[in-house]
Structure formats: structure tokens, C-alpha cells
Copies of this chain bind each other. A is one copy, B any other.
């Protein structure tokens, strides 16, 4: 594939010779830049068309990259002396963060040098900086963070958004989330016609907050043109279920649900370990069950689905877990790679733009009939 095969915007342009260029923030993760470079090395081995722009203190990064022979000619290092820490306040980073690796990583996407930005850093700061450096897509009021969630679906995952970009969302925001989430499911999970559900406390249409009732109508109307199936209201139990592929909710509820699900899974995992330590017989059982357990762990391993995606900006940003190890970083890079390869940014921009123009048409028609 060459760059001329697909119509792509400047932001989406693959690098020279049809290569995909990703912008990687080396700093800010709990395990430091060595882990990030190790994750890059894994991804580079699997996908030979990836190139990286790596941001952080040059001397340190040069040493780390030099250790991986197959990386050296595929990484451009951009020097950034400062690091955004987990304790930094977003507002301060936006004001004084120009020298940080995070800022530099976003600016590479802004300049069109890379397609997608990946960072393990402070979520709040990354979102604030992303909004400032990449700007919101025309028609998007609140960007959202989307995650993949282990579920009973054939594809093994649901998309849920927003999980914490903002703490509130009105009916129009929820409509945008439905459009962006279904675009993501189409490009990230390869679902042609994703099923979209709106999170509520009951499935009856009369239930829930007023913005949810309004959003129900808006999303229903948009589903035909946007080519997704709207299944209506869904409940918390459907998040790991098989009723839909995309769960739409505000960032407060989504964040609580995400962390509740993670916490529950982690509690059960620990109780399982305890149960197997109980008696000599159960220890033997644990040994025999090891492969079964590994299979299960792999299925729901959060590292395999590592990466929240910031949607609604001029350029996608993949947020990896702060505690990600090399496997986790590699999973986040793989996700960024897939999004770049599918021309996701152009598709989502087109989808949001068409919804905006549809809404404008509708408004004009209403004015015309008055």
C-alpha cells in the first residue's frame, strides 16, 4: 500500500513508503521509559511498517533505543526535558508544560508528523493538553474516553464511552458519543453495523433522567444514517454482556462503572488464589488448573485491552494504563497502529460532520415550515 492508495488527511498521512508513524510519550508511566521502549520493541517486531517518534530526555532515550538493534533506524527521538507526573494538575500542565514529553508527543500529531499519540501519563493532564494542542473536532462539544471492556460478545469486547473525560453529558453529547463509539467499534472491532446501547437504570423507555430520554430519541433518529443498530436503554449488567457492542454514558457513571468492574474482577482473582491455597488438595488442583487459569487470565487480562482512546479531537490519542508493563504498552501501540491503518480519524471526523449537517438541515426545515 502506498500513501496514494487511500484518501487521507495530513493528520492521517502514513510516513514515507506507506509506513505508519506513531508518536510515543516515553515518560510519565509508573515504570519509566525502559518499559515504554520495551513495548515499542515488541510492536516493532510484529508490525514491520511501524515507525516511532519518541519524546523525552534525549540522552536517556538514545541509550535505551540503542540496546534494541531492530529499533534504531525506526525511531526518531525528540528531546523534551520535563515530565508530567501523576500528581501534576491539568491546569498547570496546560500553562507550564511546554517542555514536557507529553506536550511534544501531542505536537507531533498536531504537526502531521505522526498519526496517533500514545502516552502512559496522567489522564487528566493528557486530556487537557490534547484538547489544547489538537483541538476538538468541529461539532464535538465534549470529547470522550472510550475503553474496550471484556464481554460476552463474539468479539470478546464492548466499547464503553465516556469513562471519564468529563463528569457530565447532555443529550447532544450522548449522541456524539454514540456516533464516535460506533465509528470506533467499526474500525477497532471490525463490526460493520455495531449495536449501540444507552446506559440507564432500567430498560423501559419512560425511565431515567430527562437528558437520557432526549438522547434516546436523538440516537434513535441518527442510527439509520450512521449505520448502527440502536438497542435502546441498557443496564449495568449489559456492560459485560451481549446486548450491544457500544455502551454510551456520561463520564461520571462510566468512570464509576469501569472502576467497579475492575475492582470486582481483581477481588474475585484474589479470592480465587486464596481458595486454591486453602488445603494441600486444592494446591494440587491449582497446579493442574494452571493452564485453565492462564487461559482465563489471558481472556480478561486488562493488559490485552490496554488503552483508552480519546475521541472527538483532531487526531486520536491512546492513553495506556500508568502501570502498564511492556505487554501493556505494546497492546496500546497495537491499538494505535490499527486505528492509524484503518484511517479512523478521517472516518470519525466525517461521521461527526455529517451528523452536524443533518442536525442543521433539520433545524432549517423546521424554520422553513414556520
- By a CB distance below 8 angstroms, the chain B residues around A279 are 291-292
Alpha-carbon gap, A287 to B107, bound state (A): 57
Q: Give the docked Cα–Cα distance between A255 and B237 (Å).
A: 10
Please tell me if A285 contacts chain B, counting CB pairs below 8 Å.
yes
Interface stretch among A45-53, A76-84, A258-266? A258-266
List 21 contacting pairs A-B, 8 Å CB cutoff, sorted by A: A151-B267, A167-B208, A201-B255, A235-B255, A236-B259, A236-B263, A240-B260, A240-B267, A241-B263, A241-B267, A252-B253, A256-B256, A260-B261, A261-B261, A261-B263, A264-B265, A278-B292, A279-B291, A279-B292, A281-B288, A285-B288
- Copy number in this complex? 2
**Shortest Cβ distance from A37 into chain B, in angstroms?**
29
Instruction: Say how far A297's CB is from chain B's closest CB, in angstroms.
Output: 9
Is A299 in contact with B271, judged by CB distance below 8 angstroms? yes
A31 at the interface (CB under 8 A from B): no
Is A363 close to B, CB under 8 A? no
Contact B288–A282 (Cβ < 8 Å):
yes
Besides A164-B201, A237-B266, A257-B257, 5 other A-B contacts (C-beta < 8 A): A237-B260, A241-B267, A276-B292, A278-B291, A279-B291
A270 CA / B263 CA spacing, docked (Å): 18
CB within 8 Å of B: which residues of A? 150-152, 164, 167-168, 199, 201, 208-209, 235-241, 249, 251-253, 255-268, 270-272, 274-276, 278-279, 281-282, 284-286, 288-289, 291-293, 295-296, 299-300
Residue numbers in B under 8 Å from A282 (CB-CB): 288-289, 291-292
Q: How far is the CA of A241 from the CA of B263 in the complex (A)?
A: 7
With A268-B265, A296-B271: A256-B259 Cβ-Cβ less than 8 Å: no
Label chain A's interface by main secondary structure.
Answer: helix
Of A164, A275, A292, most buried by chain B (CB within 10 Å of CB) is: A292
Compute how far the CA of A261 lies from the CA of B259 in the bound complex, rounded to whole angstroms. 10
Residue among B236, B259, B284, B289 making CB contact with A258, cutoff 8 Å: B236
With CB as the reference atom, state the residue of chain B lying closest to A295. B275
What residues on B are CB-neighbors of A285 within 8 Å? Answer: 285, 288-289, 292
Instruction: Verify B289–A260 contact, CB threshold 8 A.
Output: no
Cross-chain contact A292 with B267 (CB below 8 angstroms): no
Tell me the complex Cα distance, A286–B295, Å: 14
Cβ contact within 8 Å between B253 and A240 = no
A238 → chain B, closest Cβ, in Å? 7
Known contacts A167-B208, A261-B264, A265-B264: A256-B291 contact under CB 8 Å:
no
With both chains docked as a complex, state the minimum distance between the C-beta of A201 and any C-beta of chain B, in angstroms: 4
Bound complex: CA A264 to CA B262 (Å): 9
- List the 6 closest pairs (A to B, CB-CB), nearest first: A236-B259, A285-B288, A237-B263, A285-B289, A236-B260, A275-B292
Residues of B within 8 A of A300 (CB): 268, 271
